[in-house]
Amino acid sequence: MKVFKFGGASVKDSKSIKNITRILKLTGYNDTIIVLSAMGKTTNALEFLVKDYMQGGSSYMDILNKIKEDHLKIINDLFKKTKKSPYNDIVELTNELNNFLKINKSTDHSFIYDQVVCFGELISTKIISFYLELEGIKNYWLDVRKCIKTDSYFRNAALNWNETGKLVKKEIKNKSTIITQGFIASDSKGYSTTLGREGSDYTAAIFAFILNSSSLTIWKDVPGVLNADPRYFNTTQLLKNISYREAIELAYYGASVIHPKTLQPLQQKRIPLFVKSFENPKGNGTKVYEGSKLNPLIPCFILKKNQTLLELSTLDFSFIVEENISQIFSLMDKYKVRVEMIQNSAISFAVCINDRYGKLKDLVLELNLKFKVEVKENVLLHTIRHFDNSSIKEIKESGKKILLEQRTYKTAQFVLSEN
């Protein structure tokens, strides 16, 4: 079995869906599991829907209708003259979502979020499954929630490997081409859960691991893994080979091409990961596997925006010692902020964080009970793996103010403010 994953950008409109057919015909699609994301920016739209719904707003129905219309337009494009179209399925799915919103009594934001956003993937896979059939690619549409089982930690659920292993093998048996959803799963009560934003890569890796796949290919709108994000950097280079270890490091620092949780399962079973361009499927792309270092060995740049720098000192100017540090970290854990970089001196402790769930205010309130806290919002975190003199010089001469700087043997990190 091989596993393919197509992200939101590769299924964003009818043209890109046609392109998937082209890729499958080129690569072969027997014994293949195809994991798909929601189309384009659908997950973002569903997030807005949830936000408005939670605030008792009046626009969430408009958002839902817009999502429905956008998908029906794509169906119209793809299935012009055919009778067998997913039109009814999509209407049914959006009705189901509408129903949930009507009868829901819960006020748990994360629970509601997962019950709603899962529709993005359910809808996209239905459309693509029908389209592949139309193109002569027989396939089986699998509701992934039947076999990817998690705990009930909504929005960032943890996998139940045991249960998932058994169910995946059962569901996959005797099937050749399977279309299914990334990112979404279900808990022991059958409620929908999600694996964290951009989690479809992880779903693909879970399948690859359980089925001992020969490879996992992630199809992207870039030629492969690049040494910098082309949205922020003018010149980028393709990384041809990367070891699992290096890829894990890059993902950890925030390189957004591969979801961080994706790599460990692949590494454990030595399953090679290919990252390829869906526009140029014959191109080499990037191969991530055991042993190969980084080829070419060049500096890799990772930029994270919208970070927050906290500078803490004790109220009585006493030293920051182990006890304080452990308190600080347990609060970071409590508010689920991600610690990106830390630096401490005798009486101060600086920490650059990513406030993933908008908990900064509460965090700072609680820190204020014990510490004097200075907050700088909207800072940039710039990481360079395999830095050299000229890459460091570039940052120093960028005109941005360096608030914090740290270097280890292979990695340099800078917290910068825009002015």
Considering the rule CB under 6 A, would residue 40 count as an interface residue with ligand ASP?
A: no
Please name the amino acid found at residue 22. Answer: R
Out of ligand ASP, Mg ion, none, which partner does residue 86 contact, by CB within 5 to 8 A per kind? Answer: none
Give the residue with the Cβ less far from Mg ion, 183 or 253.
183
Helix axes 109-134, 60-78, angle to 10 degrees: 10
Residue 309 · residue 415 · CB < 8 Å: yes
CA 218 to CA 279: how far, in whole Å? Answer: 13
Q: Collapse the DSSP code of 349 into the 3-class scheme (helix H, G, I; strand E, B; otherwise coil) and give the result.
A: strand
129 binds ligand ASP (CB under 6 A): no
The CA distance from 148 to 184, in Å, is 8
Binding segment (CB under 5 A) for Mg ion, from list 35-43, 95-103, 188-196, 308-316: 35-43
- In the chain, % helix, strand, coil (3-state, to 5) comes to 40, 25, 35
Q: Are 259 and 211 in contact (CB under 8 A)?
A: no
Position among 10, 19, 32, 37 found at the interface with ligand ASP (CB under 6 A): 37
Q: Which is nearer to Mg ion, 8 or 224 (CB)?
A: 8
Residue 154, interface with ligand ASP (CB under 6 A)?
no
Under rule CB under 6 A, which residues in 189-208 are in contact with ligand ASP?
A: 197-200
Among 40, 86, 182, 223, binds ligand ASP (CB under 6 A): 182
Pick what 199 binds: ligand ASP, Mg ion, none; C-beta below 5 to 8 Å, kind-dependent. ligand ASP
Of positions 10, 37, 181, 193, contacts Mg ion by CB under 5 A: 37
As a whole number of angstroms, the distance between CA 303 and CA 277 comes to: 22
50 binds ligand ASP (CB under 6 A): no
- By CB under 5 A, name the one of 1, 4, 5, 8 that touches Mg ion: 8
State the Cα–Cα distance between residues 30 and 14, nearest whole angstrom: 23
As a whole number of angstroms, the distance between CA 39 and CA 48 comes to 15
Spell 89-100 as b/e; 16+ CB within 10 A means b.
Answer: bbeebbeebeee
What number of chain residues touch ligand ASP (CB under 6 A)?
12
Binding to ligand ASP by residue 120, rule CB under 6 A?
A: yes
Q: Which stretch binds Mg ion (CB under 5 A): 1-9, 68-76, 222-230, 288-296?
A: 1-9
Using CB under 6 A as the binding rule, whether residue 43 contacts ligand ASP is answered as yes
Within 105-247, strands assigned E span 140-142, 177-181, 184-186, 192-194, 215-220, 241-243
Binding letters toward ligand ASP, positions 79-118, x by CB under 6 A: ----------------------------------------
What minimum distance in Å lies between the beta carbon of 344 and Mg ion? 37
| Packing angle of the helix pair 360-367, 322-334 (nearest 10 deg) | 150
Name the residues that contact ligand ASP, by CB under 6 A.
7-8, 37-38, 43, 120, 182-183, 197-200
Name the residues that contact Mg ion, by CB under 5 A.
8, 37
